Amino acid sequence: MKTKIAQILEEIQSFNAESKETLENFRIKFLSKKGVIPALFADFKQVVAEERKEMGILLNELKDKAQEIFNKEQEKFENQPAATTAIDMSLPGGRFTGSRHPISIVRHEINTIFKQLGFVISEGFEIEDDFHNFSALNFPPDHPARDMQDTFFIHKDPDVALRTHTSSIEVREMEKGKLPIRIIAPGRVFRNEVISARSHCIFHQIEGLYIDKDVSFADLKQTLFYFAKEYFGQETKIRFRPSYFPFTETSAEMDISCNICGGKGCNICKYSGWVEILGCGMCDPNILEACGIDSKQYTGFAFGMGIERITMMKYQISDIRMFFENDIRFLQQFEKS
């Protein structure tokens, strides 16, 4: 931790705000609730007792220094006179070349990789009923797992809501009874979350489903290994960690070695060298039975990933809100993609 503090202190001391936007990025990165410095305070409880006094002093000095630099840079902009720029309304408007949105670019790239493995694209409704969004996915009405989803209900109707995941598409495919199933389900989803640099009430997912006879966890791992190597590079390291999802058993989360720092540790990976990119697992037999599939004859696996997270990693974008602001300066960076 001492080394991390020294690295962060060096970065803070060399900071020079070029605009109010860069100053705000500095505040979000180091001083916000989910910033680097609060994260170090959260890790402080893991420090051994004999080092806590020294680490506590260093952490407080780091926080004070970051706040001091922020206040100093903020005063610089507050004391600047308001800029006045004459605008000639008779001048012709600028011409901008159209480009694909970064979310669309990454979605297309992910789709292409899974198409190579025989997956087909399936799309569904953004407004869903309770059965397809919850009940068919092992969420009974009183199940505490429903609390994992912050849902937008339509007209306060508990049976109709904006979908919280594209898993509802998978349910509708299973109901058709056309086996085997090998699909990916990309789309926009909605959750009632506070909008910040790292979260939004609207985001995009790609989920995958494969159901056939004798499908195993080994098939799931090989599929995701292929995807990670193809998308992030052959040198990428992959690991699976046990997890919990209501609709899969066994469940896991998949991490990849951070492609920003090469696994050495940086702010993006919270100095762990690993970044979580998706959740996955074997389809719970209850899910198959609820959709009319004999779980004694068929097995399957499912996975899901957030497109925003992968896009932010690929292009080193620090604020998820930039995807929705339609700032032409931001979008022009992707004209050649």
Does any domain span residue 329? yes
**Would you call 190 helix, strand, or coil by DSSP?**
strand
Confidence at residue 142, expressed as pLDDT on a 0 to 100 scale: 74
The last residue of one of the domains, among 38, 61, 77, is 77
Q: Which of 32-46, 69-83, 164-178 has the highest mean pLDDT?
A: 164-178
- 142 and 59 together in one domain: no
Q: Please state the three-class secondary structure of 13-44 as a single string.
A: HCCCCCCHHHHHHHHHHHCCCCCHHHHHHHHH
Per residue in 302-337, pLDDT tens? 999 999 989 988 888 888 999 998 888 888 888 776
Residue 227 and residue 114 in contact, taking contact as beta carbons nearer than 8 Å: yes
Beta-strand relationship, 120-121 and 181-190: parallel
Q: Looking at the structure, do residues 70 and 154 belong to the same domain, yes or no?
A: no
Residue 87 in domain: no
Q: Does 175 have pLDDT greater than 90?
A: yes
| 82 found inside a domain | no
* 92 part of a folded domain: no
Mean pLDDT for all residues in the chain: 87
Q: How far apart are alpha carbons 333 and 322 in whole angstroms?
A: 12
Q: What DSSP character marks residue 245?
A: B
Same domain, 210 and 69: no
Range of the domain at 38: 2-77
Same domain, 64 and 203: no
- Pair 141, 260 in one domain: yes
- CATH number, domain containing residue 163: 3.30.930.10
Q: Both 168 and 69 in a single domain?
A: no
* Count of Cβ atoms closer than 10 Å to residue 319 Cβ: 17
Q: How many CB atoms lie within 10 A of CB 16?
A: 10
Q: 202 - beta bridge partners?
A: 190
- 262 and 121 in a common domain: yes
Average pLDDT over residues 219-224: 97
Within a domain: residue 38?
yes
Q: Is residue 299 part of a domain?
A: yes
Query: What span, in angstroms and rounded, lies between the C-alpha atoms of 282 and 245?
Result: 10
Q: What is the percentage of the chain residues whose pLDDT exceeds 90?
A: 43
Are 238 and 224 in contact, with CB atoms under 8 Å apart?
yes
Instruction: Write down the pLDDT at residue 332.
Output: 84
60, 77, 94 - which closes a domain: 77
Whether residue 73 is found in the same domain as residue 117: no
Rounded-to-integer distance, Cα 55 and Cα 186, Å: 45
Q: Given this model, what pLDDT does residue 314 score?
A: 87
Same domain for 224 and 111, yes or no, is yes
Judge whether 84 lies within some domain: no
Instruction: Identify the pLDDT of residue 84.
Output: 59
Looking at the domain assignment, is residue 88 inside a domain?
A: no
Q: At what angle do helices 2-13 and 36-43 cross, to 10 degrees?
A: 160
H helices of 201-337, where? 217-232, 285-290, 307-315, 328-331
Q: How far, in Å, CA of 206 to CA of 277, rounded?
A: 11
Is 241 found in the same domain as 124? yes
Whether omega before 164 lies within 30 degrees of 0, making that bond cis, reads no
Domain end position, chosen among 77, 112, 129? 77
The pTM assigned to this predicted structure is: 0.68
d(CA 108, CA 103): 9
When divided into structural domains, the chain yields a total of 2
Q: Are residues 43 and 178 in the same domain?
A: no
Residues 6+ apart with CB under 8 A from 258: 264, 265, 266, 268, 269, 272, 273, 274, 275
- 200, 241: one domain: yes
